[in-house]
Structures are given as C-alpha cells and as structure tokens.
Amino acid sequence: MAWFILLSILAVCFAGVLLFGAPYVPTLAPQVKAALRLAGLKPGDTLLELGCGDGRVLIAAAGQGINAVGYELNPLLFLVAWSRTRRYRGQIKVVWGNFWRQDWPPAEAVFTFLLARYMPKLDKKLMHYSPKPVKLVSCAFTIPNRKPDAEVSGVYLYTYR
C-alpha cells in the first residue's frame, strides 16, 4: 500500500508537469558548462532558469559568483533544488510554481531546457521582457525563425535587444 501511494505521488508530480511544460531531463555537465560560457555572465549578474529541475545549473552559476533564480513546478524537484542550494541562500532563489504565470525578475540571461513546442511562446515572452538586452541560452531547442548568435554542444544562444 505504501509503495502504491509513493508511486502515485511520483506519477502525479512528474506526469502532472507535462500539462504545463517539459518533462524532467537533467542537463548534462558539458551542456551546463557550455550554457554558462555562452551566457557570459559576470559575478553579481543574474541568471533566470525556467524549470530548474534539481538545481544543478543554479549551483554551477552560483559557483561562478552569479546570482540565480530558478522556477520549478514539480514539488519533489523543487524540494530537491531548494535543499541542494541551501548553502547559496544569499545567491540562489528557488521558486515553486509555473514560470509561465510568474512575473520574471530582472536578469541578464535566461536558461531553459524545454521542448520545441514551447519555444514560440518563450520567444514572445522574451520580446516583451525587460530589462534588455537579455540573453537566452537554450539547451537542445531553437527559437523558430531566429538565427542563434552561437551554438556550443547543442546549447543555443540568442540575444533579445
């Protein structure tokens, strides 16, 4: 019975997110490195991560002195990210919720690893986002009808001015 309840909770948390966005697939270390390189942030700049999973990108950013804000809808992953980033509490903020429904804080760069079908919506959101310029660093998926400024290891960089 306990196993059934546990499996049901896991199914609701992981499958429920599919109604609003991409499933959980962790970004691999080479892509995290490429993303931070492409973002080109300085210590004190802010990175916004839309769907922060277990918090690995936030932690890598904080390790370079970058402030980071991550949104995560899956409550279990939110708890994992929140507890893994505790030691960076002054630098990293993890928010539980649907990032499409939030007012995004000012940031110099946005990191995402979503799905192709969300990229046009993201493009529109970023066109109306301020401050500008803002960089978008997207793992695996491109923005339709926009030429990336650069690509490294399957990670794409765009600049919105």
Binding site for ligand SAM (CB under 6 A): 17, 20-22, 24-27, 49, 51-54, 56-57, 71-74, 77, 98-100, 113
Q: Which is nearer to ligand SAM, 21 or 109 (CB)?
A: 21
CB of 137 to ligand SAM, least distance (A): 11
CB of 72 to ligand SAM, least distance (A): 5
Q: Which is nearer to ligand SAM, 54 or 108 (CB)?
A: 54
**Measured torsion, CA atoms of residues 150, 152, 156, 161, in degrees rounded to the nearest 10:** -40
**Measured torsion, CA atoms of residues 12, 18, 20, 24, in degrees rounded to the nearest 10:** 90
What residue type is 31 in one-letter code? Q
Q: Which is nearer to ligand SAM, 73 or 143 (CB)?
A: 73
Q: Which is nearer to ligand SAM, 50 or 134 (CB)?
A: 50
CB of 1 to ligand SAM, least distance (A): 27
Closest by alpha carbon to 27, among 112, 107, 149, 98?
Answer: 112
**Measured torsion, CA atoms of residues 54, 56, 57, 60, in degrees rounded to the nearest 10:** 160
